[in-house]
């Protein structure tokens, strides 16, 4: 602050002066009706890294569907055996045997595998909805960061313009001898400070706009970005974050049912052909054989898979309950914030009217010479602070409505 004052004093002494006409370049927002929130959301959704998981999920679904539609419970196998006594007695003994092993489905196993395939298929649409909600959150944040920064920049610009106008008025009165020369320094210093604040806000706006453009690849903002408040105040089962968890729980239930068959040995049907003879003097005897094998007492080997599936299901149900609780907490927090801001705005509107009237009286008193410049600048600062708070609340209420809709799971 001292350096700035010395710099201004040096400029005035040298007869250079500081041009108040030269303005910092203002960032102008460009809006277009062709750019909409749904279009931005779709684009951001398509760029999400998590989308790459969809292909893997589809491959998983296809693999389970193919298994569920398979004729046999496991891979068929064929064995070929040959036996002779050439290296032993040499009597001409020969035996040829080929057997095909075909594992069979246990009762209910195929139906459970089909059920699991369907549950996995139902997870993919829920997963896509969840990603769309993630994309909606990002778009809301990008757009509102720009809107909030733009509102703050516009207000800071107006404050700077008022400070420059005051500086110009003071300079004119100093010139005709109505005010002391030090008053001009004070007005100039105030103007420079307001310019500095404006430049900071303008820089924040530039940063927010650059991030928006980098992620959305759009140069324009949507013309319509404000949202209406949803007509509900509680998280329901249609929330995408809960839908994906519910679908996953359904899948785990199917996996738990299918776990009863894990570790079990499927019965196997075997069909074989045997061709044999005892010695050179005998004719070959051809025969067909059919057999079946099945396990005895395999319950103990199924227990681990069943217990693990039950534990995984219980963990998923706990996560679902915790997620619903956390989502409701976030929603209630935003709703409370919205109500608080609305109440604050009612009070700040009255306060803004009062401070503006007070500022007008102070300006009139300054013009008449009944008020010093320090008191006027203090009054301006108070009025600017109140007006800034009013505008911030107005924009904040609209932003909070978007946050409430996001908490409710509404996709743009």
pLDDT in tens, 252-294: 888 888 777 776 677 777 888 888 877 777 777 888 888 887 7
**pLDDT tops 50 at residue 18:** no
Per-residue pLDDT, 293? 79
Q: What is the DSSP letter of 50?
A: G
d(CA 80, CA 98): 4
Total Cβ atoms within 10 A of residue 168 = 13
The pLDDT value recorded for residue 331 is 95
| Contact between 219 and 30 (Cβ < 8 Å) | yes
Contact by Cβ (8 Å): 242, 107:
no
pLDDT, residue 109, reads 78
Segment 379-385 shows an average pLDDT of: 88
* Cα 379 from Cα 395, distance rounded (Å): 25
Contact predicate 255/115, CB 8 Å: no
Extended beta strands in 242-367, E state:
268-277, 285-293
Q: Do residues 412 and 230 touch, judged by C-beta distance below 8 A?
A: no
What's the pLDDT at 21?
Answer: 35
- Compute CA 156 distance to the chain's CA centroid, rounded to the nearest angstrom: 32
C-beta of residue 125 within 8 angstroms of C-beta of residue 54:
no
pTM of the model: 0.80
DSSP state letter for 273: E
Mean of pLDDT over the chain: 85
Spatial contact of 157 and 198, defined as CB atoms under 8 Å apart = yes
Instruction: State yes or no: pLDDT of 11 exceeds 50.
Output: no
Choose the weakest-confidence range: 21-25, 134-138, 313-317, 319-323: 21-25
Burial state string for 135-145 with b = 16 or more CB within 10 A and e = fewer than 16: bbbbbbbbbbb
Q: Where are the alpha helices (DSSP H) in 69-108?
A: none
What is the CATH code of the structural domain delimited by 2-18+27-407? Answer: 1.20.1600.10
Amino acid 77: pLDDT = 85
Q: Helix (H, G, I), strand (E, B), or coil: what is residue 265?
A: coil
The tokens for 24 are 């910092």
Phi, psi torsion values for 71, nearest 5 degrees: -70, -40
């Amino acid at each position: 602050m001292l350096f700035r004052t010395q710099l201004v004093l040096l400029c005035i002494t040298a007869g250079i002066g500081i041009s108040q006409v030269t303005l910092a370049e203002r960032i102008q927002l460009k809006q277009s009706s062709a750019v909409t929130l749904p279009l931005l959301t779709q684009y951001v959704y398509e760029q999400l890294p998590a989308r790459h998981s969809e292909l893997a999920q589809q491959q998983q679904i296809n693999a389970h569907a193919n298994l569920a539609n398979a004729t046999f419970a496991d891979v068929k196998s064929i064995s070929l055996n040959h036996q002779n006594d050439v290296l032993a007695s040499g009597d001409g003994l020969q035996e040829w045997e080929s057997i095909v092993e075909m594992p069979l489905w246990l009762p209910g196993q195929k139906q459970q595998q089909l059920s699991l395939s369907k549950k996995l298929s139902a997870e993919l649409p829920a997963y896509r909805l969840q990603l769309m909600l993630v994309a909606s959150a990002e778009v809301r944040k990008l757009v509102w960061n720009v809107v909030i920064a733009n509102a703050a920049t516009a207000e800071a610009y107006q404050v700077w313009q008022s400070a420059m106008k005051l500086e110009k008025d003071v300079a004119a009165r100093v010139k005709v001898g109505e005010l002391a020369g030090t008053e001009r320094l004070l007005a100039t210093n105030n103007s420079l400070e307001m310019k500095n604040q404006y430049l900071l806000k303008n820089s924040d706006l530039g940063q927010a706009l650059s991030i928006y453009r980098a992620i959305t690849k759009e140069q324009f903002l949507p013309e319509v970005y404000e949202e209406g408040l949803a007509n509900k105040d509680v998280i329901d089962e249609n929330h995408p974050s809960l839908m994906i968890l519910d679908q996953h729980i359904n899948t785990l239930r199917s996996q738990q049912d299918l776990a009863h068959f894990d570790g079990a040995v499927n019965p196997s049907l075997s069909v074989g052909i045997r061709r044999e003879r005892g010695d050179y003097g005998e004719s070959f005897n051809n025969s067909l054989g059919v057999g079946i094998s099945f396990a005895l007492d395999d319950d103990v080997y199924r227990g681990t898979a069943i217990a693990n599936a039950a534990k995984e299901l219980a963990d998923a149900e706990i996560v679902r309950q915790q997620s619903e609780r956390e989502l409701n907490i976030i929603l209630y927090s935003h709703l409370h914030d919205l109500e608080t801001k609305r109440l604050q705005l009612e009070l700040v509107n009255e306060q803004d009217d009062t401070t503006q009237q007070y500022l007008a009286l102070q300006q009139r008193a300054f013009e008449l010479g009944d008020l010093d410049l320090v008191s006027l600048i203090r009054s301006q600062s108070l009025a600017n602070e109140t007006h800034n708070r009013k505008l911030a609340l107005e924009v904040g209420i609209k932003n909070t409505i978007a946050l409430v809709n996001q908490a409710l799971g509404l996709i743009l």
